[in-house]
Amino acid sequence: MMNPTFLYGTAWKEEETERLTRLAIEAGFRGIDTANQRRHYFEAGVGAAVAKAIADGLLRRDEIFLQTKFTYADGQDHRMPYDPNADVATQVQQSFASSLEHLQVASIDSYVLHGPSQRRGLGAADGEAWRAMESIHRSGRTRHLGISNVALDQLEELMRIAAVPPSFVQNRCFARTRWDRNVRAFCREHGIVYQGFSLLTANARELNHQDFWQIVERLDRTPAQVVFRFALQVGMLPLTGTTDPDHMREDLDIGSFELSGEDLGVIETIAG
C-alpha cells in the first residue's frame, strides 16, 4: 500500500484500545501507530480491532499501514514482551514476534526503534538493536524501519552506521523549535518521512497566539485542523490519538482546504 497521510495513534487507551481503533478505521484512518510497550499501549487491542475489521470486510490487510515499535527495558514496566536478561538482538526478535502475534498479521509496514538507549549519541545497544531490525527487514516481515525520539546528531549517526536506513522518524513536534526544523530538513534531504506527534498537546501556548487564531477564523476551521493541515503542507505525516469520533472526522477532513505560503510562514514562526 501507499504510505498514509495521517496516522491514528493508539497510546494511553487501555481497555478502550480495540473500540477506538475500530472507530478510527470506520472514520477512515488507514495508518495505525502502536508499540509493544504495555505501559503506554495495548497492542493486542489494536490487533483485535484490525483483525475484526478485516474479517468484517471493512478493508483488506494491504489497505492498512501498521507500525509498531521496539522499546528498551527501561521504557517498559514489568509487562515486558521479551526476556530482559537476553541480549538486545534477542530482545528485538522476541518483541517483534510478540508484536506479530498481538497484531495477528504475518508482516507489518514499519518497525520503529522507540528511542535511542542514551540521551546523546548512539550506544552499542542501538547498533545491536538496529542490526536486529535490519535482519527482520531483510526477512520481509517489515517493509520499513524507523526511529523515534531522536535528535539530529543521533539521526546523522544512525545514517552512517545503517545498512538499511530509516524510512521514518517519529518525534514530538514543538512549535518552539520551529516544529523540529533541523530534523525535518535532514529528513527531507535523505528521503525520510517525518512523523510528528503531540502537535496539539505540546503547543498549547502557541495555538492560543492571536496570529494563529486569525488564520483559524479566516478559514473557518478548527485549531486542530489548521495545525494538521500545516503539518501536511510542510511535508510531515501527522499523528492524532483523538478518542472522539467527531474529532476523528475533523482531523481527516484536512484535504479540502489549503494554507497560503504566508499562513505557513506565520505558523512556522509562531513561537518567535
Ligand X SMILES: NC(=O)c1ccc[n+]([C@@H]2O[C@H](COP(=O)([O-])OP(=O)(O)OC[C@H]3O[C@@H](n4cnc5c(N)ncnc54)[C@H](OP(=O)(O)O)[C@@H]3O)[C@@H](O)[C@H]2O)c1
- Contact positions toward ligand X, by CB under 6 A? 9-11, 33, 148-149, 170, 197-198, 200-201, 222, 224, 239-244, 247, 250-251
* Least CB distance to ligand X at residue 33 (A): 4
Q: Which residue is nearest to ligand X (CB)?
A: 9
Nearest Cα neighbor of 118 from 154, 144, 170, 143 is 154
Which residues, 6+ apart, have CB-to-CB distance to 30 below 8 Å? 1, 4, 59, 63, 64, 65
Work out the number of other CB atoms within 10 angstroms of the CB of residue 247: 17
Closer residue to ligand X (CB): 140 or 193: 193
Nearer CB in complex with ligand X: 85/256: 256
State the Cα–Cα distance between residues 173 and 177, nearest whole angstrom: 8
Give the nearest distance from C-beta 145 to ligand X in angstroms.
14
Minimal distance, residue 57 CB to ligand X, in Å: 26
Q: Least Å distance between CB 220 and ligand X?
A: 15
Q: Closest by alpha carbon to 86, among 38, 132, 40? A: 132
Instruction: Output 93 or 240, the one with its CB closest to ligand X.
Output: 240
Residues contacting residue 74 through CB under 8 Å, at least 6 positions apart: none
CA-based nearest residue to 4, from 158, 165, 232: 232
For the chain, first and last CA: distance in Å? 39
* Smaller CB separation from ligand X, 10 or 93: 10
Q: Enter the C-alpha cell of residue 17.
A: 484500545
Cβ closest to ligand X, residue 71 vs residue 91: 71
Smallest gap, in angstroms, from Cβ of residue 170 to ligand X?
5
Q: Please state the closest distance from residue 143 (CB atom) to ligand X, in A.
A: 19
In the complex, minimum distance from the CB of residue 240 to ligand X, in angstroms, rounded to a whole number: 4
Amino acid at 141: R
Our CB check for ligand X shows the closer of 235 and 265 to be 235
- Alpha-carbon span 205 to 17, nearest angstrom: 29
Nearer to ligand X, 140 or 224 (CB): 224
In terms of DSSP bridges, do strands 236-240 and 193-197 run parallel, antiparallel, or are they unpaired?
A: parallel
